């Protein structure tokens, strides 16, 4: 049993397609963290802004970042589900 | 002409006009002649891409056909100069190649000798200047009609009319000079006489702008024994060389191909002249033999001169026509095309072709070079310079608002100079470097090609916008002025934002996603602009006509900004990295951006 598990792990490691997917998930997570930071920064600037034009600009940027984050989270969930599905299929005994 | 040179030429000409009426007449004649050339060129351009190419292609697709075309047209028009002038127009308009043009010159050289036969044999001469007036009337009538081709015919007719009128003007101005040349007083024997009379023949023909006039003078003089037969032969040789002056003057305003044809004409006729001078004794004997064979009296010097004229031109054709391609190559080497004014690619090198990564990087760098030139054109259209992008937005707004001077910026000329050469080189380079479609570099090249296309589109939209911008920025309606200046300001501000984005790209953690904010600004500006225009029309602050122009130009502004942003996205972001690919998935599409703007607007 242990040997089989080890073999699966090795197989997954050498599977380039799977490796790419994992990398992609990592990249997406990094971007989402950066977006979150950016969102906080702009929200802070918005609180301090007094000029109407600037307020509108910050509000638009916030709205865009939120939409981008929502998109990112959605894609991330789909990717994770797909990876789980592949994992579960490959773990089923023949 | 160089502006500094113009400052010298204008006072000099003015002084000349004050001094002499003859000089004024000659200058006016040359000006009318050159204007005719321009009109003729414009006329022929109206037929490019259609009928004229087919006619010319059929009549000039071989050396002998070109020769025949030249012979027939020179015989009908009775002027080799005019045929070469028309051929220069064909060449400048790109309807002919140099080899076909030289073929026509050979034909016209022989065709024009029929004039000598007419003068000497029949005592007749077709006076081309009498056609000028009806040509001008019919020409102008055609220009005022609709239809591109009818207008083209109009320009050709007026062009021909002005050419003839110009020649007539020059002739009239030199009439008293022509009357004062009493050739009988200057008869000279031997080689000295031969050379001096050849020179006189050249000078008189250049002055009179017609070898026919010199021929008429010579044949008349020799028939009444005012000059010797030997001197008359030399005058004919000189006239044959001097007749090339018409084409040389015509080529001043023409493109390099036109200049090359005039150069070929001079080269051929000069060679012919020198050859005949070297073998003058043999030619004299041959003329006597041929004349006897034709039944011409040995004492009829006038007809013998016509025989001589035809014989030496025919000899030159037999000798030189087989080397027509070599003549074209030689003249192309002598008269090189000036390319210094046209911007050339800096980074494209064929040695990079085997290295896909290098090819992509070369094209990217060259595209940035093109981008720099494109923003130069856009900024200059609005009366600004690249350095102005370093100012803050308020200063830019003030620069545009306070500048009420006329902005005379030729986008077409600058497109030819700054864009076309580089753009064409990029396209050619990409098409040569096609890798297999599976390769990543292939798709990168495809994006770069699109980016270049977007840049060209942005310049074309700027050109469309320039028309009303130049007109309305100095209009009497303040609201219209304000809106046009707002359009200019928003485009320049957008360029500044792209430049800021470009130079701070290393600090930008999410470059691709940050561009979504700029995309939203474009849509918001467009929406606000249209709303303002509607309000201005409703409040009758601007006329509906001005309003519709503003709406169209606002659409051009939107396209310019969008195209520039798309270009920046491809050129400045290395979108093939893993991080960029992940970022790409999160960017908002057009519908999502518009949705954001509308949500913000309703809040």
Interface touch B513/A35, C-beta < 8 Å: yes
Token pair belonging to B268:
């051929």
CA distance A24 to chain B (A): 7
Enumerate the domain spans of chain B.
Answer: 3-334, 350-602
Question: Cα B144 to the chain's mean position, in Å?
Answer: 24
The answer as to whether A1 is a domain residue is: no
Nearest Cα residue in chain B from A74: B586
From the CB of residue B307, how many other CB atoms can be counted at a distance below 10 Å? 24
Range of the domain at A53: 44-83
C-alpha distances in Å from residue B534, one per residue of B156, B550, B558: 47, 10, 17
Cβ-nearest to A64 among B578, B581, B588? B588
Q: Touching check for B252 and chain A: CB below 8 Å?
A: no
Interface touch A23/B578, C-beta < 8 Å: yes
Whether B273 contacts B91, CB under 8 Å: no
Whether B457 contacts B376, CB under 8 Å: no
The answer as to whether A56 is a domain residue is: yes
Q: CA B505, B509, B512 angle in degrees (round to 5)? A: 70
Could you tell me the pLDDT band of residue A86, with boundaries at 50, 70 and 90? low
Residue ranges of chain B whose pLDDT lies below 50: 1, 123-126, 437
3 state SS of B489: helix
> Could you give the CA distance from residue B228 to residue B446 in angstroms, rounded to a whole number?
76
The answer as to whether A6 is a domain residue is: no
Q: At what angle do helices B511-538 and A52-91 cross, to 10 degrees?
A: 140
Q: CA B234, B236, B240 angle in degrees (round to 5)? A: 115
User: What confidence score (pLDDT) does residue B542 get?
Assistant: 92
Q: How many domains does chain A have?
A: 1
DSSP designation for B128? G
> Could you give the CA distance from residue B287 to residue B283 in angstroms, rounded to a whole number?
6
Handedness of CA A65, A70, A73, A79 (dihedral sign): negative
A27 contacts on B by Cβ (under 8 Å): 578-579, 581-582
Among A39, A57, A63, the residue to mutate for chain B (most B Cβ within 10 A): A63
> Could you give the CA distance from residue B498 to residue B390 in angstroms, rounded to a whole number?
12
User: What confidence score (pLDDT) does residue B5 get?
Assistant: 73
Token pair belonging to A78:
């789909």
The answer as to whether A65 is a domain residue is: yes
Q: N- to C-terminal Cα distance for chain B?
A: 60
Cβ-nearest to A38 among B510, B593, B596? B510
Whether B419 contacts B377, CB under 8 Å: yes
B600 contacts on A by Cβ (under 8 Å): 56, 59-60, 63
Residue range A4-25, pLDDT digits in tens: 777 777 666 666 677 778 888 9
pTM of the model: 0.54
User: What confidence score (pLDDT) does residue B393 get?
Assistant: 85
Interface touch B581/A34, C-beta < 8 Å: no
CB-based contacts of B408: which residues, under 8 Å, 6+ apart?
A: none
Residue range B433-470, pLDDT digits in tens: 766 545 667 888 889 999 999 999 999 999 999 999 98
Kindly tell me the burial class for residue B29, based on how many C-beta atoms sit within 10 Å of its own C-beta (0-12, 13-18, 19 or more): buried
Task: Find tokens 């990717």 and name the residue.
Answer: A79
> Could you give the CA distance from residue B434 to residue B264 in angstroms, rounded to a whole number?
41
Query: Is residue B63 within a helix (H) or strand (E), and if so which, with residue range?
Result: helix B63-77
The answer as to whether A33 is a domain residue is: no
C-alpha distances in Å from residue B348, one per residue of B48, B89, B162, B309, B471: 32, 34, 46, 54, 40
CB-based contacts of B149: which residues, under 8 Å, 6+ apart?
A: B46, B47, B50, B51
DSSP designation for B415? I
Residue A81 half-sphere exposure toward CB, CA atoms < 13 A:
6
CB-based contacts of A83: which residues, under 8 Å, 6+ apart?
A: A18, A21, A22, A25
C-alpha distances in Å from residue B36, one per residue of B165, B243, B318: 9, 18, 33
Contacting B residues, span 523-542, partner chain A, CB-CB under 8 Å: 524
> Could you give the CA distance from residue B428 to residue B416 in angstroms, rounded to a whole number?
17
B524 contacts on A by Cβ (under 8 Å): 60
B587 contacts on A by Cβ (under 8 Å): 68
The answer as to whether A13 is a domain residue is: no
Closest Cα partner for B376 from B347, B417, B423, B336?
A: B417
Cβ-nearest to A31 among B510, B516, B596? B510
Cβ-nearest to B586 among A24, A31, A38? A31
User: What confidence score (pLDDT) does residue A41 get?
Assistant: 92
DSSP designation for B417? I
C-alpha distances in Å from residue B287, one per residue of A38, B220, B278, B281, B293: 97, 19, 15, 10, 10
Token pair belonging to B101:
């043009």
Whether B201 contacts B244, CB under 8 Å: no
């Amino acid at each position: 049993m242990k040997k089989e598990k080890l073999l699966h792990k090795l197989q997954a490691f050498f599977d380039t397609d799977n490796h790419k997917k994992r990398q992609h998930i990592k990249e997406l997570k990094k971007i989402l963290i950066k977006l979150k930071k950016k969102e906080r920064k702009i929200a802070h600037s918005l609180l301090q802004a007094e000029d109407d034009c600037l307020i509108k600009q910050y509000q638009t940027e916030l709205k865009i970042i939120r939409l981008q984050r929502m998109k990112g989270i959605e894609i991330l969930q789909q990717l994770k589900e797909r990876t789980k599905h592949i994992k579960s299929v490959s773990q089923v005994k023949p | 002409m160089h502006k500094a040179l113009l400052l010298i030429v204008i006072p000099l000409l003015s002084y000349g006009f004050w001094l002499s009426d003859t000089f004024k007449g000659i200058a006016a004649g040359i000006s009318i002649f050159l204007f005719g050339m321009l009109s003729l060129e414009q006329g022929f351009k109206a037929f490019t891409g259609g009928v004229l190419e087919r006619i010319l292609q059929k009549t000039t697709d071989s050396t002998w056909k070109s020769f025949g075309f030249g012979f027939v047209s020179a015989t009908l028009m009775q002027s080799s100069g005019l045929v070469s002038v028309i051929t220069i127009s064909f060449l400048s308009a790109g309807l002919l190649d140099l080899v076909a043009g030289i073929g026509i010159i050979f034909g016209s050289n022989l065709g024009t000798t029929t004039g000598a036969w007419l003068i000497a044999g029949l005592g007749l001469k077709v006076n081309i200047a009498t056609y000028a007036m009806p040509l001008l009337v019919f020409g102008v009538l055609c220009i005022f009609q609709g239809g591109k081709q009818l207008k083209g015919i109009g320009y050709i007719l007026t062009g021909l009319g002005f050419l003839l009128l110009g020649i007539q003007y020059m002739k009239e101005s030199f009439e008293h000079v022509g009357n004062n040349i009493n050739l009988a007083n200057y008869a000279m024997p031997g080689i000295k006489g031969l050379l001096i009379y050849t020179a006189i023949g050249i000078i008189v023909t250049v002055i009179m702008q017609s070898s026919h006039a010199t021929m008429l003078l010579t044949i008349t003089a020799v028939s009444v024994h005012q000059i010797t037969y030997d001197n008359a032969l030399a005058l004919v040789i000189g006239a044959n060389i001097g007749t090339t002056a018409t084409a040389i003057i015509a080529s001043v305003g023409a493109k390099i191909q036109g200049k090359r044809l005039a150069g070929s004409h001079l080269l051929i006729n000069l060679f012919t002249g020198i050859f005949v001078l070297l073998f003058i004794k043999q030619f004299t004997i041959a003329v006597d033999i041929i004349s006897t064979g034709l039944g011409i009296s040995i004492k009829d010097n006038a007809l013998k001169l016509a025989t001589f004229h035809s014989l030496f031109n025919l000899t030159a054709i037999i000798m030189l026509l087989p080397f027509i391609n070599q003549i074209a190559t030689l003249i192309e080497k002598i008269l090189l095309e000036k390319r210094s004014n046209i911007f050339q690619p800096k980074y494209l090198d064929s040695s990079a072709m085997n290295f896909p990564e290098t090819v992509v990087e070369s094209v990217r760098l060259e595209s940035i070079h093109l981008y720099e030139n494109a923003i130069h054109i856009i900024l200059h259209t609005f009366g600004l310079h690249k350095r102005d992008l370093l100012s803050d937005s308020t200063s830019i707004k003030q620069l545009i608002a306070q500048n009420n001077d006329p902005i005379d910026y030729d986008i077409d000329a600058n497109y030819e100079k700054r864009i076309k050469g580089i753009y064409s080189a990029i396209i050619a380079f990409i098409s040569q470097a096609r890798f297999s479609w599976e390769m990543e570099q292939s798709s990168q090249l495809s994006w770069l090609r699109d980016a270049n296309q977007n840049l060209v589109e942005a310049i074309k939209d700027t050109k469309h916008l320039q028309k009303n911008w130049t007109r309305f920025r100095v209009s009497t309606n303040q609201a219209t002025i304000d809106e046009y200046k707002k359009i200019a300001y928003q485009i320049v501000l957008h360029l500044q934002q792209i430049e800021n984005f470009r130079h701070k790209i290393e600090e930008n953690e999410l470059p691709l996603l940050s561009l979504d904010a700029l995309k939203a600004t474009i849509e918001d500006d467009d929406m606000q602009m249209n709303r303002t225009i509607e309000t201005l029309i409703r409040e009758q602050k601007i006329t509906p006509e001005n309003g519709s122009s503003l709406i169209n130009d606002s659409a051009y502004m939107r396209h310019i900004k969008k195209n520039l942003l798309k270009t920046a996205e491809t050129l400045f972001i290395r979108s093939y990295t893993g991080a960029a690919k992940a970022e790409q998935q999160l960017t908002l599409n057009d519908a999502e951006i518009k949705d954001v703007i509308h949500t913000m607007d309703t809040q």
